[in-house]
A and B are shown apart, each in its own frame.
Chain A
Protein backbone atom coordinates (compact mmCIF):
# COMPACT_ATOMS: atom_id res chain seq x y z
CA UNK A 1 0.00 0.00 0.00
CA UNK A 2 1.60 3.19 -1.17
CA UNK A 3 -0.83 5.57 0.40
CA UNK A 4 -1.82 5.12 4.01
CA UNK A 5 -4.46 6.94 6.04
CA UNK A 6 -1.86 8.91 7.91
CA UNK A 7 -1.24 10.90 4.74
CA UNK A 8 -4.52 12.61 5.46
CA UNK A 9 -2.94 14.30 8.44
CA UNK A 10 0.71 14.45 7.48
CA UNK A 11 0.26 16.23 4.18
CA UNK A 12 -1.72 19.14 5.65
CA UNK A 13 0.66 19.32 8.59
CA UNK A 14 3.72 19.58 6.38
CA UNK A 15 1.97 22.22 4.37
CA UNK A 16 0.89 24.09 7.48
CA UNK A 17 4.40 24.15 8.88
CA UNK A 18 5.93 25.01 5.53
CA UNK A 19 3.53 27.74 4.44
CA UNK A 20 5.17 30.46 6.57
CA UNK A 21 8.43 29.66 4.76
CA UNK A 22 6.92 29.22 1.33
CA UNK A 23 5.21 32.56 1.44
CA UNK A 24 8.64 34.10 1.65
CA UNK A 25 9.51 32.42 -1.63
CA UNK A 26 6.31 33.10 -3.49
CA UNK A 27 3.52 35.26 -2.25
CA UNK A 28 0.73 33.11 -3.65
CA UNK A 29 2.06 29.93 -2.08
CA UNK A 30 -0.25 30.30 0.89
CA UNK A 31 -3.25 30.14 -1.37
CA UNK A 32 -2.14 27.42 -3.73
CA UNK A 33 -0.45 24.93 -1.43
CA UNK A 34 -3.59 24.14 0.60
CA UNK A 35 -5.38 23.43 -2.64
CA UNK A 36 -2.75 20.94 -3.64
CA UNK A 37 -2.90 19.33 -0.23
CA UNK A 38 -6.66 19.15 -0.17
CA UNK A 39 -6.65 17.71 -3.65
CA UNK A 40 -4.13 15.17 -2.50
CA UNK A 41 -6.55 14.27 0.27
CA UNK A 42 -9.19 13.58 -2.34
CA UNK A 43 -6.73 11.32 -4.14
CA UNK A 44 -5.99 9.54 -0.88
CA UNK A 45 -9.68 9.07 -0.31
CA UNK A 46 -10.28 7.44 -3.63
CA UNK A 47 -7.23 5.27 -3.27
CA UNK A 48 -8.27 4.13 0.18
CA UNK A 49 -11.86 3.54 -0.78
CA UNK A 50 -10.64 1.38 -3.61
CA UNK A 51 -8.33 -0.43 -1.32
CA UNK A 52 -10.90 -1.24 1.31
CA UNK A 53 -13.33 -2.35 -1.35
CA UNK A 54 -10.82 -5.01 -2.30
CA UNK A 55 -9.03 -5.86 0.91
CA UNK A 56 -11.39 -4.90 3.69
CA UNK A 57 -10.88 -2.30 6.32
CA UNK A 58 -7.55 -0.72 7.10
CA UNK A 59 -6.24 -0.24 10.61
CA UNK A 60 -2.99 1.60 10.28
CA UNK A 61 -0.60 1.41 13.18
CA UNK A 62 1.38 4.48 14.08
CA UNK A 63 4.90 4.51 15.51
CA UNK A 64 5.07 0.80 14.89
CA UNK A 65 2.86 -0.19 17.82
CA UNK A 66 -0.07 -2.32 17.00
CA UNK A 67 -3.47 -1.38 18.31
CA UNK A 68 -4.39 -1.20 21.14
CA UNK A 69 -0.89 -0.22 22.28
CA UNK A 70 -0.33 2.54 19.82
CA UNK A 71 -2.64 4.98 18.17
CA UNK A 72 -4.29 3.56 15.11
CA UNK A 73 -6.07 5.10 12.18
CA UNK A 74 -9.05 3.14 10.97
CA UNK A 75 -10.57 3.30 7.54
CA UNK A 76 -13.71 1.24 7.34
CA UNK A 77 -16.33 1.77 4.66
CA UNK A 78 -17.99 4.06 7.18
CA UNK A 79 -15.07 6.26 8.12
CA UNK A 80 -13.75 6.05 4.58
CA UNK A 81 -17.06 7.29 3.26
CA UNK A 82 -17.11 10.22 5.64
CA UNK A 83 -13.45 11.01 5.04
CA UNK A 84 -13.99 10.96 1.31
CA UNK A 85 -16.97 13.21 1.62
CA UNK A 86 -15.14 15.62 3.89
CA UNK A 87 -12.04 15.76 1.75
CA UNK A 88 -13.96 16.32 -1.46
CA UNK A 89 -16.01 19.05 0.11
CA UNK A 90 -12.90 20.52 1.65
CA UNK A 91 -11.32 20.74 -1.75
CA UNK A 92 -14.43 22.23 -3.32
CA UNK A 93 -14.64 24.81 -0.59
CA UNK A 94 -11.01 25.70 -1.14
CA UNK A 95 -11.70 26.02 -4.85
CA UNK A 96 -14.63 28.24 -4.12
CA UNK A 97 -12.66 30.42 -1.78
CA UNK A 98 -9.57 30.67 -3.90
CA UNK A 99 -10.29 34.17 -5.14
CA UNK A 100 -12.59 35.04 -2.33
CA UNK A 101 -9.63 35.37 -0.02
CA UNK A 102 -8.33 38.32 -1.93
CA UNK A 103 -11.05 40.31 -0.33
CA UNK A 104 -10.27 39.26 3.20
CA UNK A 105 -10.29 42.29 5.37
CA UNK A 106 -8.83 40.59 8.39
CA UNK A 107 -5.46 39.07 8.97
CA UNK A 108 -3.16 37.73 6.38
CA UNK A 109 -4.23 35.18 3.87
CA UNK A 110 -1.66 32.70 5.08
CA UNK A 111 -3.21 32.57 8.51
CA UNK A 112 -6.59 31.98 6.99
CA UNK A 113 -5.34 29.24 4.71
CA UNK A 114 -3.47 27.40 7.42
CA UNK A 115 -6.41 27.49 9.80
CA UNK A 116 -8.91 26.50 7.16
CA UNK A 117 -6.81 23.62 5.91
CA UNK A 118 -6.09 22.34 9.39
CA UNK A 119 -9.75 22.54 10.29
CA UNK A 120 -10.53 20.18 7.44
CA UNK A 121 -7.56 17.96 8.21
CA UNK A 122 -8.56 17.86 11.86
CA UNK A 123 -12.07 16.84 10.91
CA UNK A 124 -10.69 13.99 8.85
CA UNK A 125 -8.53 13.12 11.84
CA UNK A 126 -11.57 12.91 14.10
CA UNK A 127 -13.18 10.61 11.61
CA UNK A 128 -10.33 8.20 10.98
CA UNK A 129 -8.72 7.93 14.37
CA UNK A 130 -9.28 4.82 16.42
CA UNK A 131 -8.15 6.25 19.70
CA UNK A 132 -10.35 8.25 22.01
CA UNK A 133 -7.68 10.61 23.29
CA UNK A 134 -6.40 11.18 19.80
CA UNK A 135 -9.92 12.12 18.89
CA UNK A 136 -9.84 14.66 21.68
CA UNK A 137 -6.65 16.14 20.23
CA UNK A 138 -8.19 16.39 16.80
CA UNK A 139 -11.34 17.92 18.23
CA UNK A 140 -9.11 20.55 19.76
CA UNK A 141 -7.31 21.11 16.45
CA UNK A 142 -10.63 21.69 14.80
CA UNK A 143 -11.80 23.77 17.71
CA UNK A 144 -8.80 26.09 17.83
CA UNK A 145 -8.94 26.64 14.08
CA UNK A 146 -12.66 27.20 14.24
CA UNK A 147 -12.45 29.72 17.08
CA UNK A 148 -9.80 31.67 15.23
CA UNK A 149 -11.62 31.56 11.94
CA UNK A 150 -14.86 32.70 13.52
CA UNK A 151 -13.11 35.81 14.73
CA UNK A 152 -11.06 36.11 11.58
CA UNK A 153 -12.68 39.29 10.32
CA UNK A 154 -11.74 40.84 13.65
CA UNK A 155 -15.00 42.66 13.64
CA UNK A 156 -16.87 43.36 16.81
CA UNK A 157 -19.40 40.63 16.19
CA UNK A 158 -16.82 38.18 14.92
CA UNK A 159 -14.82 38.39 18.11
CA UNK A 160 -17.97 38.04 20.14
CA UNK A 161 -19.02 34.93 18.26
CA UNK A 162 -15.52 33.55 18.56
CA UNK A 163 -15.49 34.07 22.28
CA UNK A 164 -18.82 32.36 22.77
CA UNK A 165 -17.70 29.47 20.65
CA UNK A 166 -14.49 29.22 22.63
CA UNK A 167 -16.26 29.36 25.95
CA UNK A 168 -18.61 26.53 25.08
CA UNK A 169 -15.81 24.72 23.27
CA UNK A 170 -13.75 24.95 26.45
CA UNK A 171 -16.56 23.22 28.32
CA UNK A 172 -16.65 20.57 25.66
CA UNK A 173 -12.98 19.76 26.01
CA UNK A 174 -13.19 19.77 29.81
CA UNK A 175 -16.10 17.34 29.88
CA UNK A 176 -14.55 15.21 27.20
CA UNK A 177 -11.42 14.91 29.32
CA UNK A 178 -13.51 13.90 32.32
CA UNK A 179 -15.20 11.25 30.26
CA UNK A 180 -11.91 9.95 28.96
CA UNK A 181 -10.53 9.92 32.50
CA UNK A 182 -13.35 7.79 33.82
CA UNK A 183 -13.15 5.41 30.88
CA UNK A 184 -9.40 5.11 31.23
CA UNK A 185 -9.55 4.26 34.91
CA UNK A 186 -12.13 1.59 34.23
CA UNK A 187 -10.66 -0.07 31.18
CA UNK A 188 -6.97 0.82 31.27
CA UNK A 189 -6.91 1.59 27.59
CA UNK A 190 -7.63 4.40 25.19
CA UNK A 191 -8.23 2.44 22.05
CA UNK A 192 -11.89 2.68 21.14
CA UNK A 193 -12.13 -0.89 19.93
CA UNK A 194 -10.61 -2.21 23.12
CA UNK A 195 -12.74 0.08 25.24
CA UNK A 196 -15.75 -1.32 23.43
CA UNK A 197 -14.52 -4.83 24.07
CA UNK A 198 -14.08 -4.19 27.78
CA UNK A 199 -17.17 -2.09 28.22
CA UNK A 200 -19.38 -4.95 29.46
CA UNK A 201 -17.07 -5.36 32.47
CA UNK A 202 -17.32 -1.74 33.49
CA UNK A 203 -19.70 -1.06 36.38
CA UNK A 204 -22.97 0.32 35.13
CA UNK A 205 -22.76 3.46 37.25
CA UNK A 206 -19.36 4.47 35.91
CA UNK A 207 -20.35 3.65 32.39
CA UNK A 208 -23.36 5.91 32.52
CA UNK A 209 -21.53 8.80 34.13
CA UNK A 210 -18.81 8.61 31.52
CA UNK A 211 -21.46 8.41 28.85
CA UNK A 212 -23.15 11.53 30.18
CA UNK A 213 -19.92 13.47 30.00
CA UNK A 214 -19.27 12.23 26.48
CA UNK A 215 -22.79 13.05 25.43
CA UNK A 216 -22.56 16.59 26.69
CA UNK A 217 -19.08 17.21 25.31
CA UNK A 218 -19.75 15.71 21.91
CA UNK A 219 -23.25 17.12 21.91
CA UNK A 220 -21.61 20.52 21.91
CA UNK A 221 -19.58 19.54 18.88
CA UNK A 222 -22.63 18.06 17.21
CA UNK A 223 -24.67 21.22 17.85
CA UNK A 224 -27.32 19.53 19.89
CA UNK A 225 -29.85 21.67 21.70
CA UNK A 226 -29.40 23.23 24.28
CA UNK A 227 -25.66 23.06 23.77
CA UNK A 228 -25.62 24.89 20.47
CA UNK A 229 -25.86 28.51 21.49
CA UNK A 230 -22.51 29.17 19.89
CA UNK A 231 -23.40 27.71 16.54
CA UNK A 232 -25.57 30.38 14.90
CA UNK A 233 -23.19 33.11 15.97
CA UNK A 234 -20.14 31.28 14.72
CA UNK A 235 -21.74 30.33 11.41
CA UNK A 236 -22.95 33.82 10.75
CA UNK A 237 -19.75 35.63 11.63
CA UNK A 238 -17.14 33.40 10.06
CA UNK A 239 -15.88 34.12 6.54
CA UNK A 240 -18.23 32.44 4.14
CA UNK A 241 -16.06 29.53 2.99
CA UNK A 242 -15.56 28.82 6.67
CA UNK A 243 -19.29 28.88 7.31
CA UNK A 244 -19.64 26.36 4.54
CA UNK A 245 -16.93 24.30 6.17
CA UNK A 246 -18.66 24.46 9.53
CA UNK A 247 -21.82 23.12 8.01
CA UNK A 248 -20.28 20.63 5.64
CA UNK A 249 -17.25 19.37 7.50
CA UNK A 250 -17.10 20.33 11.15
CA UNK A 251 -20.64 19.40 12.03
CA UNK A 252 -20.18 16.10 10.22
CA UNK A 253 -17.11 15.40 12.29
CA UNK A 254 -18.99 16.38 15.45
CA UNK A 255 -21.87 14.06 14.69
CA UNK A 256 -19.42 11.35 13.76
CA UNK A 257 -17.65 11.65 17.09
CA UNK A 258 -20.93 11.42 18.96
CA UNK A 259 -22.10 8.46 16.94
CA UNK A 260 -18.81 6.62 17.18
CA UNK A 261 -18.71 6.99 20.93
CA UNK A 262 -22.33 6.12 21.45
CA UNK A 263 -22.58 3.30 18.94
CA UNK A 264 -19.21 1.68 19.22
CA UNK A 265 -17.79 2.40 22.64
CA UNK A 266 -20.83 2.18 24.84
CA UNK A 267 -23.43 -0.51 25.12
CA UNK A 268 -25.95 1.44 27.13
CA UNK A 269 -29.67 1.16 26.62
CA UNK A 270 -31.68 4.30 26.20
CA UNK A 271 -29.11 6.22 24.23
CA UNK A 272 -31.13 5.74 21.10
CA UNK A 273 -34.19 7.28 22.62
CA UNK A 274 -32.08 10.06 23.99
CA UNK A 275 -30.65 10.83 20.57
CA UNK A 276 -34.07 10.71 19.04
CA UNK A 277 -35.69 13.02 21.55
CA UNK A 278 -32.82 15.47 21.65
CA UNK A 279 -32.53 15.37 17.90
CA UNK A 280 -36.16 16.23 17.56
CA UNK A 281 -35.96 19.04 20.08
CA UNK A 282 -32.87 20.35 18.34
CA UNK A 283 -34.53 20.28 14.99
CA UNK A 284 -37.76 21.81 16.18
CA UNK A 285 -36.21 24.70 18.05
CA UNK A 286 -33.63 25.41 15.39
CA UNK A 287 -36.23 25.57 12.65
CA UNK A 288 -38.50 27.68 14.81
CA UNK A 289 -35.65 30.06 15.41
CA UNK A 290 -34.76 30.07 11.74
CA UNK A 291 -38.17 31.17 10.58
CA UNK A 292 -37.88 34.65 11.99
CA UNK A 293 -34.24 35.36 11.23
CA UNK A 294 -33.38 38.56 9.49
CA UNK A 295 -29.78 37.65 8.77
CA UNK A 296 -29.28 35.27 5.88
CA UNK A 297 -26.29 33.41 7.21
CA UNK A 298 -27.84 33.12 10.62
CA UNK A 299 -30.91 31.61 9.05
CA UNK A 300 -28.76 29.11 7.20
CA UNK A 301 -26.97 28.36 10.45
CA UNK A 302 -30.19 27.53 12.25
CA UNK A 303 -31.22 25.48 9.30
CA UNK A 304 -27.97 23.54 9.57
CA UNK A 305 -28.66 22.85 13.21
CA UNK A 306 -32.08 21.66 12.25
CA UNK A 307 -30.62 19.25 9.74
CA UNK A 308 -28.18 17.96 12.32
CA UNK A 309 -31.17 17.38 14.55
CA UNK A 310 -32.76 15.26 11.87
CA UNK A 311 -29.51 13.34 11.42
CA UNK A 312 -29.44 12.65 15.16
CA UNK A 313 -33.05 11.51 15.12
CA UNK A 314 -32.23 9.15 12.38
CA UNK A 315 -29.20 7.75 14.16
CA UNK A 316 -31.37 7.47 17.24
CA UNK A 317 -33.84 5.26 15.44
CA UNK A 318 -30.85 3.03 15.07
CA UNK A 319 -31.97 0.47 12.53
CA UNK A 320 -29.81 -0.25 9.55
CA UNK A 321 -32.13 1.65 7.29
CA UNK A 322 -32.22 4.61 9.65
CA UNK A 323 -28.44 4.78 9.80
CA UNK A 324 -28.41 4.57 6.05
CA UNK A 325 -30.84 7.47 5.89
CA UNK A 326 -28.81 9.43 8.39
CA UNK A 327 -25.61 8.99 6.42
CA UNK A 328 -27.36 9.89 3.22
CA UNK A 329 -28.77 12.97 4.88
CA UNK A 330 -25.33 13.83 6.23
CA UNK A 331 -23.96 13.72 2.71
CA UNK A 332 -26.84 15.71 1.33
CA UNK A 333 -26.74 18.22 4.10
CA UNK A 334 -23.03 18.81 3.60
CA UNK A 335 -23.34 19.27 -0.12
CA UNK A 336 -26.49 21.33 -0.11
CA UNK A 337 -25.61 23.52 2.81
CA UNK A 338 -22.20 24.32 1.38
CA UNK A 339 -23.91 25.29 -1.85
CA UNK A 340 -26.30 27.51 0.06
CA UNK A 341 -23.54 29.17 2.02
CA UNK A 342 -21.49 29.64 -1.12
CA UNK A 343 -24.35 31.19 -3.04
CA UNK A 344 -25.54 33.15 -0.03
CA UNK A 345 -22.15 34.67 0.52
CA UNK A 346 -22.14 36.05 -3.00
CA UNK A 347 -25.37 37.82 -2.20
CA UNK A 348 -23.86 39.29 0.92
CA UNK A 349 -20.71 40.14 -0.94
CA UNK A 350 -22.64 42.06 -3.55
CA UNK A 351 -25.18 43.79 -1.40
CA UNK A 352 -22.78 44.33 1.46
CA UNK A 353 -25.71 43.58 3.70
CA UNK A 354 -26.32 40.39 5.58
CA UNK A 355 -30.04 40.91 5.96
CA UNK A 356 -32.53 38.91 3.98
CA UNK A 357 -34.38 42.05 2.99
CA UNK A 358 -31.35 43.11 1.01
CA UNK A 359 -31.93 40.24 -1.39
CA UNK A 360 -34.93 41.77 -3.10
CA UNK A 361 -34.86 40.93 -6.76
CA UNK A 362 -31.21 40.05 -6.73
CA UNK A 363 -31.68 37.37 -9.35
CA UNK A 364 -31.38 39.99 -12.03
CA UNK A 365 -27.92 40.85 -10.89
CA UNK A 366 -26.72 37.35 -10.07
CA UNK A 367 -28.79 34.92 -12.12
CA UNK A 368 -26.57 31.89 -11.79
CA UNK A 369 -25.93 32.28 -8.10
CA UNK A 370 -29.62 32.81 -7.50
CA UNK A 371 -30.38 29.67 -9.41
CA UNK A 372 -27.96 27.72 -7.26
CA UNK A 373 -29.48 29.14 -4.14
CA UNK A 374 -32.97 28.23 -5.24
CA UNK A 375 -31.80 24.76 -6.19
CA UNK A 376 -30.18 24.32 -2.82
CA UNK A 377 -33.29 25.53 -1.03
CA UNK A 378 -35.49 23.10 -2.89
CA UNK A 379 -33.09 20.27 -2.30
CA UNK A 380 -32.74 20.86 1.41
CA UNK A 381 -36.47 20.94 1.92
CA UNK A 382 -36.55 17.52 0.33
CA UNK A 383 -38.29 18.43 -2.87
CA UNK A 384 -38.10 15.59 -5.35
CA UNK A 385 -36.34 14.90 -7.62
CA UNK A 386 -33.35 16.39 -5.86
CA UNK A 387 -31.03 14.45 -3.63
CA UNK A 388 -32.53 15.75 -0.39
CA UNK A 389 -35.73 13.89 -1.05
CA UNK A 390 -34.25 10.43 -0.94
CA UNK A 391 -32.55 10.85 2.39
CA UNK A 392 -35.70 12.21 3.94
CA UNK A 393 -37.72 9.44 2.38
CA UNK A 394 -35.50 6.73 3.81
CA UNK A 395 -35.47 8.34 7.21
CA UNK A 396 -39.24 8.44 7.19
CA UNK A 397 -39.44 4.83 6.11
CA UNK A 398 -37.10 3.79 8.86
CA UNK A 399 -39.16 5.73 11.38
CA UNK A 400 -42.28 4.08 10.06
CA UNK A 401 -40.63 0.71 10.40
CA UNK A 402 -40.41 1.34 14.12
CA UNK A 403 -43.96 2.74 14.18
CA UNK A 404 -42.93 6.22 15.25
CA UNK A 405 -45.92 7.85 13.66
CA UNK A 406 -45.77 11.03 15.71
CA UNK A 407 -42.10 11.39 14.93
CA UNK A 408 -42.93 11.26 11.25
CA UNK A 409 -45.66 13.84 11.58
CA UNK A 410 -43.33 15.98 13.66
CA UNK A 411 -40.54 15.78 11.10
CA UNK A 412 -42.89 16.71 8.31
CA UNK A 413 -44.43 19.59 10.22
CA UNK A 414 -40.97 20.93 10.89
CA UNK A 415 -40.23 20.51 7.22
CA UNK A 416 -43.17 22.78 6.48
CA UNK A 417 -41.64 25.42 8.72
CA UNK A 418 -38.39 24.95 6.87
CA UNK A 419 -40.14 25.27 3.56
CA UNK A 420 -41.78 28.49 4.66
CA UNK A 421 -38.61 30.35 5.43
CA UNK A 422 -36.65 29.05 2.48
CA UNK A 423 -39.54 30.05 0.28
CA UNK A 424 -39.50 33.51 1.73
CA UNK A 425 -35.86 33.93 0.84
CA UNK A 426 -36.20 32.45 -2.61
CA UNK A 427 -39.29 34.55 -3.08
CA UNK A 428 -37.35 37.65 -2.24
CA UNK A 429 -34.57 36.70 -4.58
CA UNK A 430 -36.84 36.08 -7.50
CA UNK A 431 -40.10 37.85 -6.95
CA UNK A 432 -39.52 40.94 -4.88
CA UNK A 433 -39.13 44.36 -6.33
CA UNK A 434 -35.49 45.16 -6.72
CA UNK A 435 -34.27 48.37 -5.28
CA UNK A 436 -31.95 49.65 -7.93
CA UNK A 437 -30.75 48.43 -11.24
CA UNK A 438 -27.03 48.62 -10.72
CA UNK A 439 -25.19 45.69 -12.21
CA UNK A 440 -23.56 43.29 -9.82
CA UNK A 441 -20.25 44.55 -8.61
CA UNK A 442 -18.85 41.14 -7.82
CA UNK A 443 -19.78 38.48 -10.24
CA UNK A 444 -18.77 34.98 -9.21
CA UNK A 445 -15.34 34.09 -10.44
CA UNK A 446 -14.82 31.05 -12.58
CA UNK A 447 -13.43 28.91 -9.77
CA UNK A 448 -16.38 29.69 -7.55
CA UNK A 449 -18.71 28.83 -10.38
CA UNK A 450 -16.97 25.52 -10.92
CA UNK A 451 -17.24 24.74 -7.23
CA UNK A 452 -20.89 25.63 -7.03
CA UNK A 453 -21.81 23.88 -10.26
CA UNK A 454 -20.17 20.67 -9.17
CA UNK A 455 -22.27 20.70 -6.00
CA UNK A 456 -25.40 21.56 -7.97
CA UNK A 457 -24.64 18.78 -10.41
CA UNK A 458 -24.33 16.36 -7.54
CA UNK A 459 -27.70 17.42 -6.18
CA UNK A 460 -29.42 16.89 -9.50
CA UNK A 461 -27.66 13.71 -10.55
CA UNK A 462 -28.09 12.00 -7.22
CA UNK A 463 -31.65 13.22 -7.12
CA UNK A 464 -32.48 11.64 -10.43
CA UNK A 465 -30.37 8.54 -10.01
CA UNK A 466 -29.59 7.92 -6.35
CA UNK A 467 -28.34 4.41 -7.08
CA UNK A 468 -24.98 5.93 -7.95
CA UNK A 469 -24.17 6.62 -4.33
CA UNK A 470 -26.47 4.34 -2.40
CA UNK A 471 -24.30 1.21 -2.32
CA UNK A 472 -21.48 3.17 -0.74
CA UNK A 473 -23.77 4.58 1.90
CA UNK A 474 -25.20 1.14 2.53
CA UNK A 475 -21.69 -0.23 3.07
CA UNK A 476 -20.96 2.62 5.40
CA UNK A 477 -24.10 1.98 7.42
CA UNK A 478 -23.31 -1.72 7.64
CA UNK A 479 -19.79 -0.95 8.79
CA UNK A 480 -20.98 1.41 11.48
CA UNK A 481 -23.43 -1.06 12.90
CA UNK A 482 -21.12 -4.06 12.73
CA UNK A 483 -19.46 -3.39 16.04
CA UNK A 484 -18.05 -6.85 16.66
CA UNK A 485 -16.31 -6.88 13.33
CA UNK A 486 -14.81 -3.49 14.05
CA UNK A 487 -13.45 -4.68 17.37
CA UNK A 488 -12.17 -7.95 16.00
CA UNK A 489 -10.47 -6.44 12.99
CA UNK A 490 -8.63 -3.88 15.05
CA UNK A 491 -7.62 -6.15 17.87
CA UNK A 492 -6.94 -9.17 15.68
CA UNK A 493 -3.18 -8.75 15.99
CA UNK A 494 -3.32 -9.07 19.70
CA UNK A 495 -5.44 -12.19 19.86
Chain B
Protein backbone atom coordinates (compact mmCIF):
# COMPACT_ATOMS: atom_id res chain seq x y z
CA UNK B 1 0.00 0.00 0.00
CA UNK B 2 1.31 3.27 -1.10
CA UNK B 3 1.53 5.75 1.71
CA UNK B 4 -0.28 9.01 1.47
CA UNK B 5 2.72 11.22 1.23
CA UNK B 6 4.15 9.56 -1.83
CA UNK B 7 0.74 9.55 -3.42
CA UNK B 8 0.47 13.22 -2.72
CA UNK B 9 3.85 14.02 -4.10
CA UNK B 10 3.26 12.03 -7.23
CA UNK B 11 0.05 13.81 -7.99
CA UNK B 12 1.00 17.19 -6.66
CA UNK B 13 0.06 18.98 -9.86
CA UNK B 14 -3.37 17.47 -10.07
CA UNK B 15 -4.00 18.19 -6.45
CA UNK B 16 -2.82 21.74 -6.77
CA UNK B 17 -5.01 22.31 -9.77
CA UNK B 18 -7.94 20.63 -8.10
CA UNK B 19 -7.71 22.50 -4.82
CA UNK B 20 -6.73 25.89 -6.16
CA UNK B 21 -9.06 25.43 -9.08
CA UNK B 22 -11.94 24.76 -6.74
CA UNK B 23 -11.08 27.74 -4.60
CA UNK B 24 -10.72 30.07 -7.55
CA UNK B 25 -13.87 28.66 -9.09
CA UNK B 26 -15.73 29.35 -5.87
CA UNK B 27 -14.45 32.88 -5.69
CA UNK B 28 -15.28 33.53 -9.32
CA UNK B 29 -18.71 31.95 -9.09
CA UNK B 30 -19.48 33.97 -5.99
CA UNK B 31 -18.32 37.10 -7.69
CA UNK B 32 -20.42 36.34 -10.72
CA UNK B 33 -23.47 35.84 -8.54
CA UNK B 34 -22.89 39.10 -6.74
CA UNK B 35 -22.39 41.01 -9.95
CA UNK B 36 -25.00 39.45 -12.19
CA UNK B 37 -27.80 37.95 -10.15
CA UNK B 38 -30.68 40.23 -9.49
CA UNK B 39 -32.18 38.50 -6.51
CA UNK B 40 -30.96 39.78 -3.19
CA UNK B 41 -30.75 36.35 -1.62
CA UNK B 42 -28.71 35.11 -4.53
CA UNK B 43 -26.36 38.00 -4.07
CA UNK B 44 -25.96 37.12 -0.42
CA UNK B 45 -25.34 33.52 -1.40
CA UNK B 46 -22.77 34.77 -3.85
CA UNK B 47 -20.96 36.60 -1.08
CA UNK B 48 -20.97 33.46 1.02
CA UNK B 49 -19.61 31.38 -1.84
CA UNK B 50 -16.86 33.88 -2.39
CA UNK B 51 -15.98 33.73 1.29
CA UNK B 52 -16.00 29.95 1.14
CA UNK B 53 -13.52 30.01 -1.70
CA UNK B 54 -11.20 32.25 0.25
CA UNK B 55 -11.51 30.06 3.33
CA UNK B 56 -10.62 27.06 1.22
CA UNK B 57 -7.55 28.86 -0.02
CA UNK B 58 -6.52 29.55 3.55
CA UNK B 59 -6.71 25.92 4.53
CA UNK B 60 -5.02 24.85 1.33
CA UNK B 61 -1.97 27.05 1.70
CA UNK B 62 -1.53 25.83 5.26
CA UNK B 63 -1.13 22.28 4.14
CA UNK B 64 2.25 20.66 4.39
CA UNK B 65 3.05 17.64 2.37
CA UNK B 66 2.45 14.59 4.54
CA UNK B 67 1.38 16.70 7.45
CA UNK B 68 -1.12 15.64 10.07
CA UNK B 69 -3.64 17.66 11.96
CA UNK B 70 -1.85 19.85 14.47
CA UNK B 71 -3.16 17.92 17.43
CA UNK B 72 -0.80 16.23 19.82
CA UNK B 73 -2.90 13.20 20.46
CA UNK B 74 -1.47 10.54 22.78
CA UNK B 75 1.34 8.83 20.97
CA UNK B 76 2.25 11.70 18.76
CA UNK B 77 3.50 14.17 21.33
CA UNK B 78 6.63 14.88 19.36
CA UNK B 79 5.10 15.00 15.91
CA UNK B 80 5.35 18.73 15.61
CA UNK B 81 7.58 18.53 12.55
CA UNK B 82 5.01 16.61 10.55
CA UNK B 83 2.09 18.82 11.36
CA UNK B 84 0.36 21.23 9.06
CA UNK B 85 0.31 24.90 9.73
CA UNK B 86 -2.23 25.59 12.50
CA UNK B 87 -2.43 29.31 12.00
CA UNK B 88 -4.48 29.45 8.78
CA UNK B 89 -6.93 27.03 10.33
CA UNK B 90 -7.35 29.26 13.33
CA UNK B 91 -7.76 32.26 11.08
CA UNK B 92 -10.30 30.46 8.97
CA UNK B 93 -12.29 29.69 12.08
CA UNK B 94 -12.51 33.37 12.82
CA UNK B 95 -13.18 34.25 9.22
CA UNK B 96 -16.00 31.73 8.97
CA UNK B 97 -17.72 33.09 12.04
CA UNK B 98 -17.41 36.61 10.72
CA UNK B 99 -18.71 35.49 7.36
CA UNK B 100 -21.63 33.90 9.12
CA UNK B 101 -22.37 37.10 11.00
CA UNK B 102 -22.29 39.11 7.81
CA UNK B 103 -24.55 36.66 6.04
CA UNK B 104 -27.06 36.69 8.89
CA UNK B 105 -27.13 40.44 8.90
CA UNK B 106 -27.46 40.53 5.12
CA UNK B 107 -30.42 38.20 5.25
CA UNK B 108 -32.11 40.31 7.87
CA UNK B 109 -31.65 43.34 5.63
CA UNK B 110 -33.08 41.37 2.72
CA UNK B 111 -36.15 40.58 4.82
CA UNK B 112 -36.48 44.21 5.75
CA UNK B 113 -36.10 45.30 2.14
CA UNK B 114 -38.61 42.77 0.97
CA UNK B 115 -41.10 44.07 3.47
CA UNK B 116 -40.74 47.57 2.13
CA UNK B 117 -40.38 46.96 -1.57
CA UNK B 118 -42.26 43.70 -2.03
CA UNK B 119 -39.51 42.67 -4.31
CA UNK B 120 -36.04 41.31 -3.94
CA UNK B 121 -34.72 42.64 -7.21
CA UNK B 122 -31.65 44.73 -6.60
CA UNK B 123 -32.30 46.91 -9.63
CA UNK B 124 -35.38 48.29 -7.98
CA UNK B 125 -33.53 49.38 -4.89
CA UNK B 126 -32.25 52.66 -6.13
CA UNK B 127 -34.17 55.31 -4.35
CA UNK B 128 -30.87 56.66 -3.07
CA UNK B 129 -28.76 57.89 -5.88
CA UNK B 130 -26.65 60.69 -7.30
Contacts and interface: CB of A to CB of B under 8 A. Distances in A.
Contacts of A162: 109
Interface residues of B, number: 33
A400 interface: no
B116 A159 contact: yes
A233 B129 CA distance: 8
B127 interface: yes
A144 interface: yes
A143 B101 CA distance: 11
Contact of B50 (A174, A293, A298): A174
Contacts of A293: 130
B85 to A, nearest CB: 9
Nearest to B129: A233
Contact of B130 (A155, A177, A289): A289
B109 A159 contact: yes
B54 A163 contact: no
Contacts of A232: 128
Most buried by A among B43, B102, B110, B126: B102
A144 B106 contact: no
Interface in B91-124: 91, 94-95, 98-99, 101-102, 105-106, 109-110, 112-113, 116-117
Contacts of A166: 102, 105-106, 109
Contacts of B101: 140, 144
Nearest to A139: B98
Nearest to B114: A159
Nearest to A162: B109
Given A137-B98, A167-B43, A173-B102, A147 B128 contact: no
Contacts, number: 94
Interface stretch (A178-186, A338-346, A390-398, A429-437): A178-186
A156 interface: yes
B112 A154 contact: yes
Contacts of A177: 51, 54, 58, 95
Contacts of B84: none
A163 B127 contact: no
A236 interface: yes
A193 B105 CA distance: 34
Interface in B33-71: 34, 40, 43, 47, 50-51, 54, 57-58, 61
Interface string A280-316: 0000000001001100001000000000000000000
B125 interface: yes
B109 A151 contact: yes
Contacts of A174: 27, 47, 50-51, 54
A181 B109 contact: no
Nearest to B111: A159
B105 A148 contact: yes
Contact of B128 (A140, A143, A157): A157
A442 B50 CA distance: 47
A161 B101 CA distance: 18
Contact of A170 (B106, B117, B127): B106
A173 B48 CA distance: 12
Nearest to B105: A147
A170 B34 CA distance: 10
Nearest to B34: A167
24 contacts: A137-B94, A137-B98, A140-B102, A143-B102, A148-B105, A151-B112, A156-B113, A156-B127, A159-B112, A162-B109, A163-B106, A163-B110, A163-B125, A167-B34, A170-B47, A170-B51, A170-B102, A173-B51, A174-B50, A177-B51, A178-B54, A232-B128, A236-B128, A292-B130
Given A151-B112, A171-B34, 5 more contacts: A147-B102, A157-B128, A173-B102, A174-B54, A178-B57
